[in-house]
Structure formats: structure tokens, C-alpha cells
Structure 1
């Protein structure tokens, strides 16, 4: 006899949970009892199933099919800032350190007259633009929709957005795992750090008109 109910508990790693029928009875359900063409169910899904005796002798759901999927909740800021797997807080903290060093070098260069004020403005504007792009890309990734290309992220960082880009990577826990992307990010950060250091200590003063 076919029954219908809502999946009220689900352990995705273990592949088991409980489905509650219309009478309020809960039945154990295992991933192996779903039809072969069915993916893993989610909490709130409506399941069609039959009842059979389980391993412990209690009634369990068998011949399970997902008849209606639960709506996917929009990602929250908690999801956006969730720590990615395999990334330590120490590695992320290096990004804040690098962004802080570059910010101090800019302030030092402006304060000592080695750089014009507008240079700080460019870094601030491009940094804000980069941070927004990383934020949107993380939200798009969670929604499974259109993404900001990695090339665009690198271009904005290269042209002054690196401080905001590094900060956004840490705040949003985003783009911190893929080796090629990480390597390019640190290459851009190193170029800006060396350039700002040379500017702050007067090594580029004579070579850059107007500085």
C-alpha cells in the first residue's frame, strides 16, 4: 500500500533518516530503498513509499520515491561566510595580513609625500569593487547560477583591487582552495606589495612623474 509523507530527519552522510506520514507516524528510510534513478532526498521532500519490516523488526519505508522536492532556501550570510573544507584559519589570516601591509604602505607613501592622495582613492574604489565581485560570486555559487569569471576577478585585483579582493576572500571564505587561482592571487599581491614598498621608501619617486 502506497503512502505519502514528509522527510523530517535526514543524515546525508549516513544516508538515512525518517519520513512522517499523514497520520503522524515516523518510518525509518535508508538511501538504498530509494529508486535507482532518484538522487539523495532533502529535508522537507515529499516521499511516496511502502511499509515493510526493517532489520530491527520495526516498520520501515521501502520502494521510496521523491514525489515533490522541498524548495531550496536562499543562501544566508552565514552560508556566504562558511569556512571551506580543507582551509585553515591560519591560511585565511595570511590574506588579512597581506591586505593590512599594503594598506599601511599606501598610508605611509601618502603621509611622507611619496605618493598622491588619489592613489589611495584608486585602491579604495577598486578594492570595494573587488570585494563586491567576490561577494556576488559566492552568492551565485551557492545558488548554482551565473558566476563571475576568474579572469575578471584577477583583472580587478591587478588594477588596484587586491586589498579588497584578499579581504573578501577571507570574509566570504571564497576562492581559497583552487591552487591556480590562489597562486595568481598571491602573485598579484606580491607585485603590489613590492611596488608599494618601493614607492613608500622613495625608490620610485624619481621614476614616476607627479609623485
Structure 2
């Protein structure tokens, strides 16, 4: 028997039945939970299916021997984009990690509260600037230059910039921008150590 393909366009999980929209077009096909082959997951709306057609006792057509179709493998560009998005999301852990690192430095070196206040103020400013730039991009208005965004990150606003990139989905995929952004993050941490560390202060007096 020839097999058809379609998509589960309606499904009532409590009653155990729904309808399949054939890939080739035409009327939707009734399908019952008992028609599905043994599978670990329950049928889900939008699932691509393979099935056969048969008539029931009342002469109505329905789907039988239903099997889920394997998802098409992602193309390399799409997979690479997904990998970059996942890596960007994981980078958010740097914010609490840096906060913990700063706390340790504060306890060990007796840092002034103004240092943390500066990071907070610049992070808030960076988030606001990112939000404004995204709004300008949508409206086609004047944009904030990338150099300004990098300078804010270098000065200490990179935690807020990192949050804005992920929460607002702005400047989170452009490779060249990300490269310079991470360079500014590294530069800021090095500046923090250079200025605040008691071990390196003698070098500043030379």
C-alpha cells in the first residue's frame, strides 16, 4: 500500500485523535492514537508524518500505520548559526562569574565601593544604549556607532552589554562586532587588574 506524507494540523491529546493535512493537498485525514506505531513520544501538533490510507466500518477514510518522519538534517550554515546562538547564551554565565570574581577581589584588596558603582552605572548605560540602537535600527533612524559600544564595554559596561545582546537579540550574531566586543571585555578585565591589584601597583610608579 502506498504511503502518504502530511503534517499533524489538529490534535486533541485528551481524546486521542486529530487530523493530518496531506502534503499533496486535499481534505484533512482523520487519525486516531491507535494508528500510530509504537513510539516513546505522544503525537504533537505540527509533526511531520508518514501514513497509509484505509476505510473504516462506515466507509470513511482514515490514516493507519502512522509513523513520524525523521527531521531533515540542518544545513551547515543553520547548524553553525544555532551553535553560535548557544555559545552566546552560555556566555551570560560570565556576568555572575565576574561578580563573584569582583567580590573576591574586593575582600582581598579592600576595593572602594565606587569601583562596583562604576561597573553598575556603565552596565546600565550600555543596556540603555543597546536598546536605543535596536529601536533606531527598526525605525531606520540614526544609529549608535560600533566604536561607541566597544568603548562603553572597555570602560566597564560589558556586563550590561552582554545582557542586552542576549535579552534584546541585538548585536549578538555579527562576527566582526563580536570579535571586537570580546577583545574589549578582555581589555577591561586586564585594566581592572592593572589598576586595582596591589601586586601591579608598583609597576605604575615606575
What is the TM-score with the length of structure 1 in the denominator?
0.51
Matched, 1:86 2:89: no
Aligned to 2:111: 115
Q: By percentage of residues, which structure has more helix?
A: 2
Task: Report how many residues are paired.
Answer: 125
Aligned match for 2:150, one of 147, 150, 154: 154
Unmatched segments (≥5 aa) in structure 1 = 1-84
1:147-170 CA distance string (max 9 Å, x none):
111111111111111111111111
Higher Rg: 2
Within a 5 Å distance, the mapping from 1:139-178 to structure 2 comes to 139-178=135-174
1:139-193 CA distance string (max 9 Å, x none):
1112222211111111111111111111111111111222211100001112233
More contact order relative to length (CA 8 Å, sep ≥ 6)? 1
1:122-151 CA distance string (max 9 Å, x none):
111011100111111111112222211111
Distance in 1 between residues matched to 2:135 and 2:108, nearest whole Å: 41
Aligned to 2:130: 134
CA contact (8 A) 1:95 1:167 kept: no
1:99-119 CA distance string (max 9 Å, x none):
222222222222223422111
Unmatched segments (≥5 aa) in structure 2 = 1-79
